[in-house]
Amino acid sequence: MAGKQSAGILLHRSGPDGVEVLLGHMGGPFWAKKDAGAWSLPKGEYEPDELPEAAARREFTEELGLPVPDGELVELGTVKQSGGKTVTAWALRGDLDPSAVVPGTFELEWPPRSGRIQEFPEVDRVEWFPLDAAREKIVKAQAAFLDRLPDAL
């Protein structure tokens, strides 16, 4: 049986100190008090019958509530996260205002075994980071996408 697969878009722009990337802080109670390693590019799972690029575009819109900016997607390859999920990513030059983000939501039984279902945002905040700062924030395996970005530009 194949492991779970996700696809996402690493949005980037030129900032005052060089390249900046857009990351989202993972929503929900498990991530609420974490910062380092708790940020991700907008991404999500897809089924075997969906093309990864189409999934990346869909997930960007679902997670951020905004359309994918126009532009050419540049493949950044794949990484395997510690939980076994394979993530495929594309770089896209573009800009958006983090205050315009209207995140998608998910439901979770919280507290555990309480029988109470609560709704949480997929991302609870979105920010632009210079590459060095992003490396400290992003999920460890996804840092490889930051390393590959300069060559893709």
Residue 55: which CATH number?
3.90.79.10
Domain count, the chain: 1
For residue 15, the Cα-to-chain-centroid distance in whole angstroms is 20
Tokens 């969906």 label which residue? 50
List, as one string, the DSSP characters of 104-116: -EEEEESSTTS--
Do the beta carbons of residue 25 and residue 122 sit within 8 Å?
no
Sequence letter at residue 22: L
pLDDT tens-place values along the chain, 153 residues long: 458 999 999 999 999 989 999 999 999 898 989 999 999 999 999 998 999 999 999 999 999 999 999 999 999 999 998 888 999 999 999 999 999 999 988 999 998 999 999 999 999 999 999 999 999 999 999 999 999 999 988
CB atoms within 10 A of CB 66: 17
What pLDDT score does 2 carry? 59
Phi-psi category of residue 113: left, alpha or beta, with phi > 0 → left and psi -120 to 50 → alpha: left
What pLDDT score does 1 carry? 42
What pLDDT score does 102 carry? 94
- Give the CA radius of gyration of the chain: 15
What pLDDT score does 4 carry? 92
SS3 126: strand
What pLDDT score does 153 carry? 84
Q: Let me know the angle formed at the C-alpha of 31 by 25 and 34, rounded to the nearest 5 degrees.
A: 85
What pLDDT score does 71 carry? 96
* Residue 79 lies in domain: 5-151
